[in-house]
Amino acid sequence: MDIVVPKEYQSLWRFDETRPIVKYPAEVLRKVALPVDKVTKKTRALIEQMERALRVANGVGVAAPQLGESLRIILIAPDGRKPTALINPEIIQAEGEAIGQEGCLSLPGLYGDVQRHTKVEVKAMNKDGVLVHLNLEGMSARIVEHEIDHLNGVLFIDKADPATLHWEWPSHEEIAG
């Protein structure tokens, strides 16, 4: 899909030290991310970098590829909660469906309606390398699905109803990373 950024939104698409989120159409956003074999100092440093980027962007989720690292690591921070790192996350069970508006830190200002599950069970490692299972629903389920899509090279625009795609100045909190 070709995205033509309207002039009034181009400032959102800046990429530099203060805005470290990789923007579409960067190649890394379309790659399947590599699994993390072991949690190391480097892994933890990347998670800290992701936490800072998420905070600066006022986002609710971010994936390592959005910081240029093709690794299977995501952060989710629904409802203003402290970010939770999930390494090698997998959805092992899902149910229900709901359509909701999404945006993306890698496509700032662009929004559209995406159908997602209402409840998901996720298996992942936490930042200490411990296997965890999370049962998420509502916005938390939507965010984790959006971020796992990033790990598979899939963007919300690939799943959005094209008729609903529109430009809007971001609120203080983005829908998803």
- The number of CA neighbours under 13 Å toward the Cβ of 23 is 18
* Catalytic site residue from 97, 147, 173, 174: 147
Q: Is 147 a catalytic residue?
A: yes
Tokens of 171: 């609120």
Could you give the C-alpha distances from 100 to 39, 69, 117, in angstroms and in order? 34, 28, 10
How large is the C-alpha radius of gyration of the chain? 15
What single-letter DSSP state applies at residue 152? T
Taking a C-beta distance cutoff of 8 angstroms, is the pair 134, 124 a contact?
A: yes
Catalytic residues: 147
